[in-house]
Each structure stands twice: as C-alpha cells, then as structure tokens.
C-alpha cells in the first residue's frame, strides 16, 4: 500500500512540474510579444492606440490559451494517475493470487508427504511383523531340532541295549552250540556271527528306512515352506496385454483428416506402421488393432503426434513414424538398463539392454514377458536365499531365461536355444546359460540355480489369471502367417491385420513386375492354405509402389 501511495505522489509531482514548465514557456512567449509591441509603439507612434489594443488582445488570448493548456495537462496527469493506480492494483491482485497458488501447492506437497510417510510406516510395520514371524519360525525349528536330538539319543540308547542283548545272546549261542552240536569254538563263533550279522542287517535296514522316511518328510516340509515363503514375499500384479489401443481425438472432425482424400492418409499410416486403423461411428476415438504390442505402441505414439501437430499427409506420416520408431529403440534400450539396475546387475553387456527392454513388448499367453522375467528373477533369488545358494546368480538366470523371446519371432527356432546363444555371445556366465536351456529341458541341470529358475518360471506362469491360452494361439497364428510371407523372395515387409483376416505384402517394385506380383500373391495364398489352420478366409493384398522424387530449385 505504501508503494502505491509513493507512486501516486510521484505522478502528482511529475504532473505539477510539467504544468509549471508549460507556464514558464507561455510567460516567455508573452514577454516576447510585449517587447515586440513596445518596439512597434516606439517606431510608430501614430498607431500607438491601435497597437496597445492589439497587444492587449494578444495578451488576453495568450492567457486563455495558457489556461486551456494547463487544464488539459492537469487532466492528462489525473488520467495517468488513475491508470497507474489500476495497474498497481492489478499487479497486487495477481501477486496475491500467485502467493495463494504457491501456498496451495505447498499444502498439497505437505499432504502428499504425509501420505508417503503413512505408507512407509505401514510398510515398516509389515516388515516388523514378517521379522517377528521369522523369529517365531526359527524358535519352532529350534524346538524341532531339540526333539530330533532327543530322538537320536533314544535311538542310540536303543542300539546300545540291542548290542548288549546281542552280546548275551552270542554267549548263550556259543554255549548251546558247544553243548548240542559239539562244535569247536571257531565254528560256533562263525555260526553266531552269521546269525548276528543277519539280525543286525535287518535292524539296520529298518532303522535306515525310518530315518529315510523322516528325512524325506522333513525335506518336503522345508521345500513347501520355502516355496510358500517366497510366494508370500512376492505378490506382483497380474498384467494382461490385449491387441487394441485407443487414441482420443480432441474433435470428431479430425477423423476426416486422418482418413484423407480418397483414403490416402489412412493407407499411408497403415503401410508405414503395419497396424489396422479402425475409424467407426464411436465419437472422438480411433482404435489401433495389431497383435504386435511394439507396432501398436509405435502407431499410437505417431498418431498422437500427428494429431497434435495438425499436419497429416503421407509424407509427414512416414517422417513421424520413422522418428517415433528411432525414439522407441532408445526407449527400449533405456528400459532394459533400468530393469538390470532394479535387479542389482551393473555388469550386463550394454548390447543386452535392448533385448531385455524389448521383452516389454512381447507376450506369452497374454502375460507381459518383461514383467514375467522380473517376477521369475525375484522368485528364484528368494528361493536361493532360503536354501543358502547364490542369490544373485539365481536372479540373473531368472532375468535371462526368456531373453530369446525378444528375437525368436524374427529368426525362428526355440527361444531357449536362441536365448542361450545370445547370452553366450555377450559373455553371460555358464550358470545363466544352463538355466536358460534347462527351463525347457534342452540340457540337464548342472547347477542348482538352474533348477530354481525352472521352478520360479512354473510358479509365475501358473498363477491364476497370469496367462490365457486362446489369445496366444491367435498371436502365434498371425506370427506364422507373417513368417510364411517374409520367406518369399523380393518381399520387403508384411503385416497381418484385420484380426488375421488380411495380410498385406509390400514388395520391391524395381525387382517385380505387376504380373510377377500377381503370381507371388497366388503362391502366398496357396502356401498359407497348406501350412496354416484358420477359420474363415484370409485376404492376401500385395502392394507394388513406385515413387519418383525431384526437387525444384
């Protein structure tokens, strides 16, 4: 408020100063005119009277003009003063609003911090409860160990009693044999030893059987407990991947621009991305359909950028799709690196980051493969810790066990063997390679960690809701169709779309004529009929396109 008053005072002083300056200027003008009038009077006495009257009129007019100018200056100063007051008042209100918003944000941050602290307290309480549970379990196990020690002592005592009885029996047998059979001592001793040996073997066999059964029960109990403890410690969410993505439109009018004149934009988009773009009567949305999550993600990001940019035409579509594809490669590599750091691995070969991150865009019976591998890594590591094995190596084998799935659909073959070759190429330990091959029985287990990885893989896949057979069969069929098409010569790319009812084949226009492209289409259709089982029919569309570009300068 003090700043406002000082500003108004400054404006008033400035206005008054301007008014005085104008008045002084006008005074000088009046003096000049009076001086000229005196000179005229002195030179021309004959018209003195008229000159005086004219001088008086001039003076009066000058004074009137000075008064008008002064009043106008005062009014302008007052208007300027009012404008400055309004500006200052507006700035004060804006500053007040800004301070209120900052205070509101600080309050929200404080509330979020309180929520975080509450959540951490809850986690700490859970951990304390788990530690207490562990302590109770250790106490129980200690009691069991004491009972086993007592049982062993009782068995030892029983053995000693039996040995004493055997010794007394031996003496009786020796006397009886000598009396009845008239045997020598050596012969009687040999007979006695034979009978004692038979009885001892029988008793030992019974005892061994009891010990083995008890050990088997104890081993099964401990194994079940380790599995239950591991599963309880890791209870991740079930993530299921689907085959469609939805893009929101700011306006329904954009559908026409996406389709383009005579459908050229939508055709260019589908050819560049390999997805099926569904534009129906549903307001303000466009549906992207593809069995390949990576293609679908690239298409979604590219379409959102095109909508935001507003420039939608074939050339721009290809440019944006290519840029998104490059950025997606970098995102996949970063995702793989973050996954390795999350699991505590800093010595993984950088080239493996891309293959690990790519698992985020692969599914196994609708289960996200990257989340599945992380879950297997944690489960295997926990079981290894429970059993006193190498926890870090078990986690590493769990992370790498399905890495072959990142490229198995591109090169063909069992993903376990492809993954083992990939791991071997980038210097992974032999334990990891053995775990990759063993989890599908491609080679025997040479390390206990490999067995734990296989068990963790089975646990992760067997959880209710983790996998769905039907969708994976559908995806496998579409991948097989694309693999058949790509095996033909001069085929550059192929995309299975329309839920597998159509496959689009892009061929090299320089190497194939229209007639050859027609024959290629028929051959592809015949081979799909022969090698793939599918409901309904599959439409094979071959696209042979030539482009000629010249720049006008």
Query: pLDDT per residue over 382-430, tens digit each?
Result: 888 888 888 899 889 898 988 888 886 666 677 888 888 988 998 999 9
Backbone angles phi, psi at 289, to 5 degrees: -120, 125
414 against 469, higher pLDDT: 414
Whether pLDDT at 241 is above 80? no
Beta-bridge partners for 289? 244, 276
The gap from C-alpha 113 to its chain's centroid, in whole angstroms, comes to: 24
**pLDDT for res 434:** 92
pLDDT computed for residue 474 by the predictor: 66
- What is the chain's mean pLDDT, rounded? 78
Structural domain boundaries of the chain?
2-125, 130-233, 244-321, 343-467, 478-543
Q: What is the pLDDT of residue 320?
A: 92
The domain defined by 343-467 carries CATH number 1.10.3210.10:
yes
- With cut-offs at 50, 70 and 90, classify the pLDDT of residue 324: very high
pTM to 2 decimal places: 0.46
| Cα-based angle 304, 310, 314 (whole degrees, multiple of 5) | 85
Mean pLDDT of 5-22: 49
**pLDDT reported for residue 326:** 92
Query: For residue 108, what are the CA distances in angstroms to 95, 96, 99, 112, 113?
Result: 20, 18, 14, 6, 9
Region 184-190: mean pLDDT is 68
CATH T-level topology, domain 244-321: Ribosomal Protein S8; Chain: A, domain 1 (3.30.1370)
pLDDT at 12: 47
Token representation of residue 394: 């078990």
User: How far is the CA of 267 from the CAs of 47, 164, 249, 259, in angstroms?
Assistant: 101, 97, 19, 8
CB 516 within 8 A of CB 552: no
Q: Is the pLDDT assigned to residue 317 strictly greater than 80?
A: yes
What is the four-CA torsion angle of 529, 531, 533, 537, rounded to 10 degrees? Answer: -20
In the structure encoding, which two tokens stand for residue 425, read together? Answer: 């190429």
- Please name the fold of domain 478-543: GMP Synthetase; Chain A, domain 3 (3.30.300)
Burial 25-38, CB ≥16 within 10 A → b, else e? ebeeeeeeeeeebe
Q: Residues 267, 271, 276, 281: what is their CA dihedral angle, to the nearest 10 degrees? A: -20
Please tell me the distance from the alpha carbon of residue 213 to that of residue 216, in angstroms, as a whole number.
Answer: 5
Domain 478-543 in the same topology as domain 244-321: no
Lowest mean pLDDT among 12-26, 135-149, 519-533: 12-26
Element (H, E) at 71: helix 48-180
pLDDT higher than 50, residue 464: no
In this structure, what token pair is assigned to residue 429?
Answer: 């330990």
- pLDDT top residue among 439 and 418: 418
Backbone φ, ψ for residue 192 (5° rounding)? -65, -45
**Across residues 468-490, what is the average pLDDT?**
74
- Averaging pLDDT over each range in 101-105, 224-228, 459-463, which range is the top one? 101-105
* pLDDT tens-digit readout, 121-155: 888 888 888 888 888 888 888 888 888 888 888 88
């Amino acid at each position: 408020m003090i700043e406002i008053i000082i500003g108004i005072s400054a404006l008033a002083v400035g206005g008054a100063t301007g008014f005085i300056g104008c008045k002084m200027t006008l005074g000088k003008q009046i003096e000049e005119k009076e001086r000229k009038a005196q000179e005229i009077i002195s030179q021309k006495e004959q018209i003195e009277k008229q000159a005086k009257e004219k001088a008086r009129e001039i003076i009066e007019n000058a004074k009137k003009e000075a008064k008008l100018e002064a009043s106008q200056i005062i009014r302008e100063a007052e208007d300027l003063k009012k404008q400055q007051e309004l500006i200052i008042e507006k700035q004060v209100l804006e500053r007040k609003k800004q301070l209120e918003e900052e205070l509101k944000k600080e309050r929200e941050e404080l509330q979020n911090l309180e929520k975080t602290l509450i959540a951490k307290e809850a986690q700490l309480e859970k951990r304390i409860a788990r530690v207490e549970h562990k302590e109770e379990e250790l106490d129980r196990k200690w009691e069991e160990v004491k009972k086993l020690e007592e049982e062993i002592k009782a068995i030892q005592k029983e053995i000693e009693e039996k040995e004493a009885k055997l010794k007394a029996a031996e003496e009786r047998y020796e006397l009886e044999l000598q009396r009845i059979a008239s045997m020598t001592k050596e012969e009687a001793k040999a007979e006695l030893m034979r009978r004692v040996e038979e009885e001892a073997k029988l008793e030992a066999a019974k005892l061994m059987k009891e010990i083995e059964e008890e050990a088997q029960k104890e081993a099964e109990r401990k194994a079940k407990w380790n599995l239950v403890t591991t599963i309880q410690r890791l209870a991740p969410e079930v993530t299921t991947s689907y085959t469609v993505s939805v893009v929101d439109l700011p306006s329904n009018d954009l559908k026409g621009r996406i389709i383009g004149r005579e459908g050229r934009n939508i055709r260019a988009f589908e050819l560049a991305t390999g997805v099926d773009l569904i534009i129906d009567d549903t307001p303000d949305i466009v549906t992207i359909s593809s069995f390949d999550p990576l293609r679908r993600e690239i298409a979604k990001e590219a379409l959102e950028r095109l909508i935001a940019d507003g420039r939608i035409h074939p050339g721009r579509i290809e440019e944006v799709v290519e840029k998104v594809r490059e950025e997606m490669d970098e995102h996949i590599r970063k995702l793989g690196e973050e996954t390795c750091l999350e699991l505590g691995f800093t010595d993984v070969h950088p080239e493996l980051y891309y293959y690990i991150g790519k698992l985020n865009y692969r599914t196994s019976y609708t289960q996200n493969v990257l989340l599945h591998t992380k879950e297997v890594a944690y489960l295997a590591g926990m079981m290894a810790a429970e059993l006193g094995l190498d926890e870090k190596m078990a986690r590493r084998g769990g992370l790498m066990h399905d890495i072959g799935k990142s490229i198995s659909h591109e090169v063909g073959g069992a993903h376990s063997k492809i993954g083992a070759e990939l791991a071997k190429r980038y210097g992974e330990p032999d334990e990891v390679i053995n775990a990759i091959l063993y989890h599908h029985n491609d080679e025997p287990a040479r390390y206990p960690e490999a067995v734990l990885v296989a068990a963790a893989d089975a646990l992760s896949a067997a959880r209710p809701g983790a996998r769905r057979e039907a969708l994976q069969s559908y995806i496998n069929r579409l991948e097989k169709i694309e693999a058949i098409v790509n095996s033909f010569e001069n085929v550059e790319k192929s995309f299975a779309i329309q839920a597998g009812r159509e496959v689009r084949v892009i061929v090299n226009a320089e190497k194939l004529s229209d007639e050859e492209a027609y024959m290629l289409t028929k051959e592809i259709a015949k081979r799909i009929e022969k090698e793939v089982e599918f409901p309904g029919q599959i439409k094979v569309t071959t696209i042979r396109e030539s482009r000629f570009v010249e720049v006008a300068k």
